[in-house]
Chain A
């Protein structure tokens, strides 16, 4: 039972028989108790309650710190030089400083999801009331909030129940941030444990946000085959008035669709979006189009296509107002976290605000989503005819003329995160050949640091987009809209084959679009594992990038593979906050399929997942603090996460060492005996240099101590096959993953047996694995 205190204070109350003065009544808000499962050992854990579990993981997966900066500049005793592990004025050394920065990043990420969840929930409570029933999948879902049940320890039934969950989350984030203050935590491993705590809290906040919006906005409810949405620059009909929404908080976009519908304007105004707001708008209405991932922001704004830009929160370029101003597009800011310096027009007449924007106003802050809906539509309708001349890219002559100004100083290349050879393309462009510039756009993450660095102020990013104009206009893809949760029945169907290893793994492609080699790599990786009958899950910008490649028949991955959570399925769960359903699916395998107690029973569930559920997260373009927080939530569940080359900049990895045999022992729950289980999974957080490195690594990290011989043979088949394909030889560590001869893939038997002989391989036991002594059923004397 959870209570929230409400105080009633009465200064004076007169009745016929008495007068009461200074009466103060304190009432607890009482949640009805629907859940009979007894409360487990860690309800609403504080930051040290799961420290022992964290230590078990951190002993196996040691932090590898790669300082991004050698000094600390967080207090006025500094700057402090921490080079070669010197201590700063506060006594902190480099390792602690690095883990502290990771904690700060994860707290920022968790706070961002939490503030989003709170903002969204308050809006929904206002609109639908506290008693609005949560429904994320109708009769197909009984475990509606697996993370909430596991961490907080309640079974939420209504929107109002979620308020208490967020109270807890906010309390924990505050405590975690306080630990980063000067003179608080000093031990790097304790910082790391707190990082895990921040991640777990982050997952809780994401779950609250998504189950609330699914329930209230009638998003697809765990539907394996929801409708398709159109995606791509070219999917937007620029002949209509265009409203572009950017960010993560969907209520303004929903109010826009509501206004359009109520006023008979559906089909007359184009609504499109970038980043997660686009995902969520497409979950709400078939009319919303997705332009692309966040790296498409600048190219789309600069194209002049949007007549109005509505920004909410997260991942929005800080210079949106400046960029929009260049093409005379007004900006409507809708969220207190991102006011863009605009005047607050929330209380003004929408008609009047729209008129101001049509007549040249740069933008307005409107904190009421309903008014945003009206103002955005009226402004788009009024402004579109006046903006015709801005809805064009520059002409080729301009590109050539500007390219001739290039001094070949290399400043653009040195500013580019991907070191793109812009100077060379500029020389070609000056000669009238734009192919070089066009080719660069495929590798461009849309940051425009090149523009900023150019001493001649050449609009390099715009010219890349101009050079690719034809290809951009042909960008039209299909994406299955975010389905939200995974059904209980799907979990029951795949629980056994996943845990036994017969479905070789669940691979989740998540995160942002900070790719080193372009988004096509994500599509290629996803396709590879879908073809191999892994369960492929996707969310956020990665889910969009996966859709942006077509086969010879013109079909995207979502059109070629089913959307159910099963072998060979490609499952788009939705936006960033929908990542909660990926963790939720792993948790539900432990609770629904394996019938492990769920309520406030974190360690046991995480132990189950870590040892039995072959899941891997791949955040190939992860760039944000939110991505760090999301990853850390998976780490605490013992699920490994791989990031792409730019992920090295997260400045620390969690690496296992397969050569340290003692690190890979588990208890056999049947006997209590310690058994060598091999490096499964070998790493918990790993940054890779290339796609070729990652393909076999994903397959390898799906192995778990619990795999049956059949399951291990299947997993080894994929690992060895992918390794051979990308490395051209067989892996040198196969002997660490073969426990008995029955583990050896039949088709590779001779080759592997002779390899094992060379390595002096001996058979080992297959345990009933656990890291928790309390789960041992019978101890061996």
Chain B
């Protein structure tokens, strides 16, 4: 399985494909450089575990590490509420996609608007379509997929990974810098 190949093999997007995130340090650096990142966490987030660790924990760690608000799609906000996690906003994936394509928008209503959006916890095809919209209509936005499988419509995407490698990546991306 090639690293930068769509997980669902028929999903051949077109000439422009996501840049591969070769290692977690690159992802962390990409996110760190953005002025106002946002995390978009999908309907699968509360259901997924990686080797016994809940995916939602990684989303919360991402939020903490990069001081990024979380947009929880579908009813995912419930799981964050149960974790007593703050800084979470509930929008559907459809609404979040429409909002993110507006260059002046941020979920908290603050300036600067979002220039980077991280995606995690979606059904493969729902995300590829939402990312497709942003690829074509949101030039201001850098989209980063932190999913287990390569997402061709993102600007940057993790490659196709095993659970172990996915976990390793997320652990390193969310690791706080020393000092």
A579 CB to nearest chain B CB (Å): 24
Given A66-B129, A726-B78: A414 in contact with B97 (beta carbons within 8 A): no
Given A64-B98, A66-B133, A415-B10: 19 more A-B contacts, CB < 8 Å: A65-B136, A66-B130, A94-B136, A645-B126, A648-B129, A648-B130, A649-B125, A653-B94, A657-B98, A686-B94, A689-B73, A689-B92, A692-B75, A726-B75, A726-B78, A727-B77, A728-B75, A728-B82, A732-B90
Encode contact with B along A369-388: 1 for CB under 8 Å, 0 otherwise: 00000000000000000000
Most buried by A among B10, B95, B136: B136
Please tell me which one of the listed residues A65, A83, A649, A693 contacts residue B14 in the complex, with CB atoms under 8 A apart.
A83
Residues of A within 8 A of B122 (CB): 689
Residues of A within 8 A of B93 (CB): 689
* Stretch with Cβ within 8 A of A (4 or more), from B1-9, B20-28, B53-61, B111-119: B1-9
Given A69-B14, A410-B1: A64 in contact with B78 (beta carbons within 8 A): no
Interface residues of A (CB under 8 A from B): 62, 64-71, 81-85, 94, 410-411, 414-415, 417, 419, 453, 516, 645-646, 648-649, 651, 653, 655, 657, 683, 686-690, 692-693, 726-729, 732
| Cβ contact within 8 Å between A729 and B77 | yes
Size range of the interface on B? Answer: 35 or more
Given A70-B13, A83-B16: A693 in contact with B136 (beta carbons within 8 A): no
| Cβ contact within 8 Å between B135 and A84 | yes
Residues of B within 8 A of A65 (CB): 133, 136-137
A321 CB to nearest chain B CB (Å): 24
Residues of B within 8 A of A729 (CB): 77-78, 81
B42 contacts the other chain (CB 8 A): yes
Given A64-B98, A68-B132, A85-B137: A727 in contact with B78 (beta carbons within 8 A): yes
Residues of B within 8 A of A62 (CB): 98
B171 contacts the other chain (CB 8 A): no
B34 contacts the other chain (CB 8 A): no
Residues of B within 8 A of A516 (CB): 123
Please measure, in the bound complex, the distance between the C-alpha atom of A197 and the C-alpha atom of B92, giving whole angstroms. 29
Please measure, in the bound complex, the distance between the C-alpha atom of A693 and the C-alpha atom of B95, giving whole angstroms. 12
Given A66-B132, A415-B9, A728-B78: A71 in contact with B15 (beta carbons within 8 A): yes
A704 CB to nearest chain B CB (Å): 21
Smallest CB-CB A-B distances: 8 pairs: A70-B14, A728-B78, A689-B43, A66-B129, A692-B75, A693-B74, A689-B74, A648-B129
Please measure, in the bound complex, the distance between the C-alpha atom of A269 and the C-alpha atom of B159, giving whole angstroms. 56
| Cβ contact within 8 Å between B8 and A645 | no
B166 contacts the other chain (CB 8 A): no
| Cβ contact within 8 Å between B132 and A67 | yes
Q: List 8 A-B contacts (CB under 8 A).
A: A64-B133, A65-B136, A414-B8, A415-B8, A687-B94, A726-B78, A727-B90, A729-B77
Query: Does more than half of chain A's interface fall in helix, strand or loop, or is it mixed?
Result: mixed
User: Quick one: which of B99-154 are within 8 Å of A by CB?
Assistant: 122-126, 129-130, 132-133, 135-137, 139
| Cβ contact within 8 Å between A648 and B125 | yes
Residues of B within 8 A of A69 (CB): 12-14
Residues of A within 8 A of B94 (CB): 64, 653, 655, 683, 686-688
Residue of A nearest to B77 (CB): A727
A346 CB to nearest chain B CB (Å): 38
Please measure, in the bound complex, the distance between the C-alpha atom of A68 and the C-alpha atom of B131, giving whole angstroms. 11
| Cβ contact within 8 Å between A655 and B95 | yes
Residue of A nearest to B89 (CB): A732
Given A655-B94, A686-B94: A419 in contact with B78 (beta carbons within 8 A): no
Residues of A within 8 A of B81 (CB): 728-729
Residue of B nearest to A449 (CB): B10
Please measure, in the bound complex, the distance between the C-alpha atom of A414 and the C-alpha atom of B2, giving whole angstroms. 13
| Cβ contact within 8 Å between A689 and B126 | yes
Residue of B nearest to A686 (CB): B94
| Cβ contact within 8 Å between A646 and B125 | yes
Residues of A within 8 A of B130 (CB): 66, 648
Please measure, in the bound complex, the distance between the C-alpha atom of A729 and the C-alpha atom of B75, giving whole angstroms. 10
Residues of B within 8 A of A727 (CB): 75, 77-78, 90
Please measure, in the bound complex, the distance between the C-alpha atom of A646 and the C-alpha atom of B125, giving whole angstroms. 8
Residues of A within 8 A of B90 (CB): 727, 732
Residue of B nearest to A416 (CB): B8
B110 CB to nearest chain A CB (Å): 15
Please measure, in the bound complex, the distance between the C-alpha atom of A516 and the C-alpha atom of B125, giving whole angstroms. 11
Given A65-B137, A728-B78: A688 in contact with B16 (beta carbons within 8 A): no
Most buried by B among A67, A82, A94, A646: A67
Please measure, in the bound complex, the distance between the C-alpha atom of A417 and the C-alpha atom of B1, giving whole angstroms. 18
A656 CB to nearest chain B CB (Å): 10
Residues of B within 8 A of A728 (CB): 75, 77-78, 81-82
Residues of A within 8 A of B137 (CB): 65, 85
Residue of B nearest to A409 (CB): B1
Please measure, in the bound complex, the distance between the C-alpha atom of A648 and the C-alpha atom of B131, giving whole angstroms. 12
Residues of A within 8 A of B139 (CB): 84
| Cβ contact within 8 Å between A68 and B129 | yes
B19 CB to nearest chain A CB (Å): 14
Residues of A within 8 A of B77 (CB): 727-729
| Cβ contact within 8 Å between B123 and A83 | no
Please measure, in the bound complex, the distance between the C-alpha atom of A506 and the C-alpha atom of B8, giving whole angstroms. 37
Please tell me which one of the listed residues A85, A688, A692 contacts residue B136 in the complex, with CB atoms under 8 A apart.
A85
User: Quick one: which of B57-86 are within 8 Å of A by CB?
Assistant: 73-75, 77-78, 81-82
Please measure, in the bound complex, the distance between the C-alpha atom of A544 and the C-alpha atom of B94, giving whole angstroms. 29
Residues of B within 8 A of A689 (CB): 42-43, 73-74, 92-93, 122-123, 126
Please measure, in the bound complex, the distance between the C-alpha atom of A65 and the C-alpha atom of B84, giving whole angstroms. 35
Residues of A within 8 A of B126 (CB): 645, 648, 687, 689
B94 CB to nearest chain A CB (Å): 6
A113 CB to nearest chain B CB (Å): 27
Please measure, in the bound complex, the distance between the C-alpha atom of A693 and the C-alpha atom of B42, giving whole angstroms. 11
| Cβ contact within 8 Å between B15 and A693 | no
Please measure, in the bound complex, the distance between the C-alpha atom of A683 and the C-alpha atom of B91, giving whole angstroms. 14
A483 CB to nearest chain B CB (Å): 34
B9 CB to nearest chain A CB (Å): 5
Please measure, in the bound complex, the distance between the C-alpha atom of A118 and the C-alpha atom of B43, giving whole angstroms. 44
B22 CB to nearest chain A CB (Å): 22
B65 CB to nearest chain A CB (Å): 26
Residues of A within 8 A of B42 (CB): 689
B131 CB to nearest chain A CB (Å): 9
Residues of B within 8 A of A415 (CB): 8-10
Residue of B nearest to A81 (CB): B15
A719 CB to nearest chain B CB (Å): 14
Residues of B within 8 A of A411 (CB): 9
| Cβ contact within 8 Å between A655 and B98 | yes
B165 CB to nearest chain A CB (Å): 15
Residues of A within 8 A of B73 (CB): 689, 693
Residue of B nearest to A652 (CB): B133
| Cβ contact within 8 Å between A419 and B124 | yes
Please measure, in the bound complex, the distance between the C-alpha atom of A24 and the C-alpha atom of B123, giving whole angstroms. 67
Residue of B nearest to A86 (CB): B136
Residues of A within 8 A of B13 (CB): 69-70
Residues of B within 8 A of A64 (CB): 94, 97-98, 133
| Cβ contact within 8 Å between A67 and B98 | no
Residue of B nearest to A411 (CB): B9
Given A66-B133, A410-B1: A690 in contact with B74 (beta carbons within 8 A): yes
Please measure, in the bound complex, the distance between the C-alpha atom of A619 and the C-alpha atom of B179, giving whole angstroms. 54
| Cβ contact within 8 Å between B15 and A70 | yes
